[in-house]
Amino acid sequence: MEHRIIIRKEILFIPIQVTSPEVLVEFFLEEEDGTFLKEFEFWIPVGTCQEDVTYRCDYYARFPVKKFTDKTIILKGDVPEAFLSEIRNEDNLEQEPLERPSIHFTSGRSWINDPNGLCFHDGVYHLYFQYNPFHIKWNNMCWGHAISRDLLHWEEKDPVLFPDEHGMIFSGSAILNERGCLGFAKDALLYFYTAAGESNAWAKGKDSTQRMAVSFDGGNTLIKTELGIVPSIGRESRDPKVFWHEKTQSYIMSLWIEKNEFAILRSDNLESFAISQRFSLEGAWECPDLFCLKDDEGNEKWIFWSADGFYYFGTFDGYQFLTDGKRNLAYMNAVPYAAQTYSGLKDRIISVPWLRMEFENVDIQVDSSQENPDQDGYNGRMYTGAMGVPRELKLIKIEEEWKLSQDYTEELYRNRQERKVWKMIDTDVQEPIRVEVSAKCPVLLEWKWDNDSGAKEVIQLNVCGVDVVYHSLKGELIVGEKVVRIGCGICDFSFLIDDVIFEVTANHGIIVGAFELKKDSNTILLSGNEMAEWKVYQIH
Q: Are residues 454 and 521 in the same domain?
A: yes
Q: Are residues 148 and 39 in the same domain?
A: no
**What is the rounded distance in angstroms from the CA atom of residue 108 to the CA atom of residue 343?**
26
Range of the domain at 49: 2-90
Strand partners, 22: 45
Q: Tell me, what's the pLDDT at 539?
A: 92
**What is the rounded distance in angstroms from the CA atom of residue 255 to the CA atom of residue 240?**
5
| Residue 150 burial (CB count, 10 A) | 14
List all residues 6 or more positions away from 398 whose beta carbon is below 8 Å from its beta carbon: 508, 510
End residue of a domain, out of 50, 70, 90: 90
Q: Are residues 310 and 330 in the same domain?
A: yes
484 within 8 A of 470, measured Cβ to Cβ: no
260 within 8 A of 280, measured Cβ to Cβ: yes
The three-state secondary structure class of 279 is strand
| Residue 181 burial (CB count, 10 A) | 19
Q: Are residues 353 and 468 in the same domain?
A: no
Q: Are residues 214 and 267 in the same domain?
A: yes
Confirm whether 98 is domain-assigned. Answer: no
Strand partners, 147: 126, 155
Indicate if the pLDDT at residue 304 is higher than 90. yes
Q: Are residues 80 and 207 in the same domain?
A: no
Q: Tell me, what's the pLDDT at 540?
A: 85
Q: Tell me, what's the pLDDT at 333?
A: 96
Strand partners, 241: 254
Indicate if the pLDDT at residue 463 is higher than 70. yes
Confirm whether 372 is domain-assigned. Answer: no
Q: Are residues 145 and 12 in the same domain?
A: no
- Smallest CA-to-CA distance from 195 within 219, 162, 218 is with 162
Confirm whether 97 is domain-assigned. Answer: no
267 or 464, greater pLDDT: 267
Model confidence over 396-431: pLDDT tens digits? Answer: 998 889 999 999 999 999 999 887 777 655 444 467
Confirm whether 106 is domain-assigned. Answer: no
Q: Tell me, what's the pLDDT at 370?
A: 38
Indicate if the pLDDT at residue 50 is higher than 70. yes
Question: How does the average pLDDT of the chain come out, rounded?
Answer: 90
Model confidence over 361-399: pLDDT tens digits? Answer: 544 434 433 333 344 556 578 999 999 999 999 999 988
Confirm whether 316 is domain-assigned. Answer: yes
Indicate if the pLDDT at residue 536 is higher than 80. yes
Q: Are residues 384 and 472 in the same domain?
A: no
Q: Tell me, what's the pLDDT at 362?
A: 47
Q: Are residues 301 and 206 in the same domain?
A: yes
Strand partners, 67: none
- How many Cα atoms are found within 13 Å in the side-chain-facing hemisphere of 313? 16
What CATH number is attached to the domain comprising 384?
2.115.10.20
Confirm whether 109 is domain-assigned. Answer: no
What CATH number is attached to the domain comprising 444?
2.60.120.560
Confirm whether 218 is domain-assigned. Answer: yes
End residue of a domain, out of 406, 423, 458: 406
Q: Are residues 386 and 448 in the same domain?
A: no
Q: State mean pLDDT over 124-143.
A: 97
Give me the number of domains the chain comprises: 3
Indicate if the pLDDT at residue 214 is higher than 60. yes
Q: State mean pLDDT over 297-319.
A: 95
Q: State mean pLDDT over 192-204.
A: 93
| Residue 333 burial (CB count, 10 A) | 17
Q: Tell me, what's the pLDDT at 310?
A: 96
Model confidence over 145-196: pLDDT tens digits? Answer: 999 999 999 999 999 999 999 999 999 999 999 999 999 999 999 999 999 9
Q: Are residues 281 and 422 in the same domain?
A: no
Among 48-62, 159-173, 174-188, 491-505, name the one with the lowest average pLDDT.
48-62
Confirm whether 100 is domain-assigned. Answer: no
363 within 8 A of 333, measured Cβ to Cβ: no
Q: State mean pLDDT over 483-508.
A: 94
Q: Tell me, what's the pLDDT at 48?
A: 85
Among 14-18, 318-322, 371-375, name the one with the lowest average pLDDT.
371-375
Q: What is the pTM of this model?
A: 0.94
Q: Tell me, what's the pLDDT at 531?
A: 61
**What is the rounded distance in angstroms from the CA atom of residue 528 to the CA atom of residue 437?**
20
Q: Tell me, what's the pLDDT at 365?
A: 39
132 within 8 A of 472, measured Cβ to Cβ: no
Q: Are residues 67 and 141 in the same domain?
A: no
Task: Categorize the per-residue pLDDT at 28 as very low, low, confident or very high, splitting at 50, 70 and 90.
Answer: very high
492 or 380, greater pLDDT: 492
Q: State mean pLDDT over 18-36.
A: 91
